[in-house]
């Protein structure tokens, strides 16, 4: 006869939830490291797998994302107390140590709980050798002997400006240097060490989930707060944005307010009528395309979306279907192709959005792992692609039409330099002052380009250049 099941006590339930939260965080770190996944795309499925909701999901999210953001700093801390070269340590152990250090230095977790739970986590995932578990235990106990401010001093000892900023804000040195240069251009002056650190630290603050409404006028549901700059934007007060009623009904999509602003600017530029067709050259995963298509419907303008990768093209198709009903007289064309090959043929467009592939340095709040995936060589490769795409796009703008060159990166080599190099070979293109088309947004820089910043605008660091074909 089966024994009766004994109900878990509140303390047992709490312990199990905390254990599952740590397992979920570790699972995400391993997936990011091994499979090169995007954390923000993988995380909802991980939460669902472990049945985490509410406070438990919030704890797990803080643990996982905080560790991803601060892993560079935590590696420097661990290297100071490790009995062996940190670069030689098993990656599975590195993940567990990083999680433990985050709890010790950045969360309100008692030292003993952070250390003991890390050792338990190691055993749960198959690290049973007591020597390896003992290594984790000893290392974390050594870390616990200093608080965060003391570790800042240790890690920063003997380092110069940009190197110090990189270390204490957990960014690669090359990223720190690139953002320093972009900020100096934005302010047209020298950037203090404090201002640089403030901008970098903004990348380590979690962004509030934001949605963009496709219906006009937008009707905000309960649990949403209007955005700061875009009338279509709203932030999600609590929970996952996918659970928002408007998102489930297809009236809204998950989209950072910075992405909304660059599309709004493109739509605000006057273009002589009649307009007949718009183009999104790099449409995946489809957020900006959905907003453009919803506007195209109201203007009776045909819309073409191009995406290189089939799985992303499928995402574009699903989002466009939400913004443009089947009974609409607007023609939608989704092309799975390389935009550099001009798959739309000889067609010309009134408005073109080129949201070019980039390093993603502008979205480090949402994708903290991007800072560790990219390097200087990636910038060179991407800039070459960006130039090819921009030249192709400008050749497809009709006379009097406008193209928006957009990157989710403030890196000058991906933004202003790309535009200037392409325009050296094109005579009949005028750069517009993009600030004029975002009149309610402050601190946009000296123009004519627009640069958004997390620490100034609360958005991703989106770059925008608007160009008109004469």
User: What does the alpha-carbon distance between residue 127 and residue 98 come to, in Å, rounded to a whole number?
Assistant: 16
CATH number of 10-148: 1.10.940.10
16: left (phi > 0), else alpha (psi -120 to 50), else beta? alpha
The per-residue pLDDT for 10 is: 45
The per-residue pLDDT for 104 is: 97
In the chain, CATH 3.40.50.150 covers 255-469
User: What does the alpha-carbon distance between residue 318 and residue 423 come to, in Å, rounded to a whole number?
Assistant: 35
Nearest to 61 by CA among 41, 79, 84, 44: 44
The per-residue pLDDT for 322 is: 65
The per-residue pLDDT for 323 is: 61
The per-residue pLDDT for 189 is: 87
User: What does the alpha-carbon distance between residue 333 and residue 324 come to, in Å, rounded to a whole number?
Assistant: 12
pLDDT, one tens digit per residue, over 241-287 is: 878 888 888 888 899 999 999 999 999 999 999 999 999 999 999 99
The per-residue pLDDT for 326 is: 62
CA angle 299–303–309, rounded 5-degree value: 150
Fold entry, domain 255-469: Rossmann fold (3.40.50)
User: What does the alpha-carbon distance between residue 158 and residue 198 come to, in Å, rounded to a whole number?
Assistant: 21
| C-alpha torsion sign, points 196, 198, 204, 206 | negative
In the chain, CATH 1.10.940.10 covers 10-148
> Is 408 among the residues known to form the active site?
yes
Do the beta carbons of residue 350 and residue 292 sit within 8 Å?
A: no
Do the beta carbons of residue 179 and residue 193 sit within 8 Å?
A: no
- Is pTM, for the whole model, over 0.75? yes
The per-residue pLDDT for 243 is: 81
Strand-strand pairing, 302-307 and 277-280: parallel
The per-residue pLDDT for 3 is: 36
The per-residue pLDDT for 420 is: 97
Alpha-helical regions (H) of 173-286: 173-187, 193-202, 245-248, 257-268
Residues of the chain with pLDDT under 70: 1-15, 322-329
The per-residue pLDDT for 324 is: 62
CA atoms lying within 13 Å on the CB side of residue 339: 32
**Active-site option among 17, 119, 358, 408:** 408
């Amino acid at each position: 006869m089966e024994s009766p099941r004994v109900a878990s006590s509140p303390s047992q339930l709490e312990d199990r939830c905390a254990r599952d939260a740590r397992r979920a965080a570790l699972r995400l770190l391993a997936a990011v490291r091994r499979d090169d996944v995007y954390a923000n795309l993988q995380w909802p499925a991980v939460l669902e797998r472990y049945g985490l909701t509410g406070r438990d999901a919030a704890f797990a999210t803080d643990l996982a994302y905080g560790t991803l953001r601060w892993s560079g700093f935590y590696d420097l801390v661990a290297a100071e107390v490790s009995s062996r070269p940190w670069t030689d340590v098993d990656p599975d152990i590195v993940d567990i140590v990083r999680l433990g250090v985050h709890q010790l230095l950045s969360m309100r977790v008692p030292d003993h709980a952070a250390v003991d739970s890390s050792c338990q986590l190691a055993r749960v995932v198959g690290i049973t050798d007591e020597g390896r578990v003992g290594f984790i235990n000893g290392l974390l106990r050594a870390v616990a002997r200093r608080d965060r401010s003391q570790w800042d001093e240790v890690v920063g000892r003997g380092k110069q400006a940009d190197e110090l900023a990189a270390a204490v804000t957990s960014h690669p040195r090359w990223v720190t240097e690139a953002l320093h240069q972009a900020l100096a251009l934005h302010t047209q002056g020298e950037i203090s060490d404090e201002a640089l650190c403030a901008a970098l630290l903004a990348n380590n603050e979690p962004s509030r989930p934001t949605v963009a409404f496709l219906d006009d006028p937008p009707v905000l549901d309960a649990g949403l707060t209007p955005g700061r700059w875009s009338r279509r934007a709203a932030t999600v007060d609590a929970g996952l944005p996918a659970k928002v009623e408007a998102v489930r009904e297809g009236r809204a999509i998950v989209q950072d307010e910075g992405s909304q602003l660059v599309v709004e600017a493109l739509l605000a530029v006057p273009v002589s009528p009649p307009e007949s067709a718009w183009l999104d050259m790099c449409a995946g995963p489809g957020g900006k395309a959905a907003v453009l298509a919803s506007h195209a419907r109201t203007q009776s303008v045909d819309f073409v979306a191009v995406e290189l990768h089939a799985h992303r093209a499928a995402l574009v198709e699903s989002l466009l279907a939400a913004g443009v009903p089947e009974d609409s007289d607007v023609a939608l064309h989704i092309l799975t192709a390389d935009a550099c090959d001009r798959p739309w043929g000889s067609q010309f467009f009134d408005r073109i959005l080129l949201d070019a592939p980039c390093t993603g340095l502008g979205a480090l709040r949402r994708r903290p792992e991007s800072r560790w995936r990219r390097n200087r060589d990636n910038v060179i490769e991407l800039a070459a692609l960006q130039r090819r795409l921009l030249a192709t796009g400008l050749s497809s703008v009709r006379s009097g039409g406008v193209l928006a060159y957009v990157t989710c990166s403030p890196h000058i080599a991906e933004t202003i330099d790309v535009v200037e190099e392409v325009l050296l070979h094109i005579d009949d293109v005028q750069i517009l002052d993009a600030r004029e088309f975002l009149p309610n947004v402050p601190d946009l820089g000296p123009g004519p380009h627009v640069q958004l910043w997390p620490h100034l605008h609360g958005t991703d660091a989106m770059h925008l250049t608007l160009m008109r074909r004469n």
